[in-house]
């Protein structure tokens, strides 16, 4: 290898050294990026571990509060995904809202099913929307208003279009 290096011209030696230096710089930069990502991964795992330790240390208290909360729930008022849609339709109809209710997205947990429904209302006045939101909030803890998005109607700026994200919790069988 040394003999080959000695046979090439000075200009080629400089070009070879510069090329190897450029490769080393690129490789070193990638090495630093990967080390930073690894360090960030370790720190996020550390934060998760601390959080899980806190949860595990307070597990008895959390379970006691959960049991107390579940005991206070009326099983007749707990809403499945279908019952949530029907209840929202009834509330919207009582306020005269033109609505579109999407089918629920349901996530199953160990103890609960979590249902999430989007209700889109078009060309409504602010009073009707506020009354609808108040009626939904009055039904807590059986349903909850997660998010509201309001936009002015393009055809009549005095009217609003709204999207409500509403959730409910159902006990797993």
Give mean pLDDT, residues 96-101.
94
User: What is the full DSSP assignment across 6-67?
Assistant: HHS-HHHHHHHHHHHHHHHHHHHHHHHHHHHHHHHHHHHHHHHHHHHHHHHHTHHHHHHHHH
Would the pLDDT of 92 be above 90? Answer: yes
Q: Write out pLDDT tens, residues 43-74.
A: 888 888 999 999 899 989 988 887 887 777 77
Give pLDDT, residue 145: 94
Q: Write out pLDDT tens, residues 158-172.
A: 999 999 999 998 877
């Amino acid at each position: 290898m040394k003999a080959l290096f000695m046979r090439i011209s000075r200009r080629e030696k400089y070009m070879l050294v510069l090329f190897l230096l450029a490769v080393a710089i690129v490789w070193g930069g990638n090495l630093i990026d990967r080390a930073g990502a690894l360090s960030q991964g370790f720190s996020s795992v550390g934060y998760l571990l601390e959080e899980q330790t806190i949860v595990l240390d307070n597990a008895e208290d959390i379970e006691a509060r959960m049991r107390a909360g579940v005991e206070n729930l009326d099983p007749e008022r707990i809403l499945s995904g279908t019952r949530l849609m029907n209840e929202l339709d009834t509330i919207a109809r009582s306020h005269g809202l033109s609505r579109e209710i999407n089918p629920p997205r349901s996530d199953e947990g160990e103890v609960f099913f979590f249902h999430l429904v989007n209700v889109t209302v078009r060309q409504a006045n602010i009073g009707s929307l506020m009354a609808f939101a108040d009626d939904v909030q009055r039904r807590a803890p059986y349903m909850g208003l997660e998010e509201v998005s309001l936009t002015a109607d393009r055809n009549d700026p005095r009217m609003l279009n709204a999207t409500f994200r509403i959730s409910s919790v159902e006990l797993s069988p």
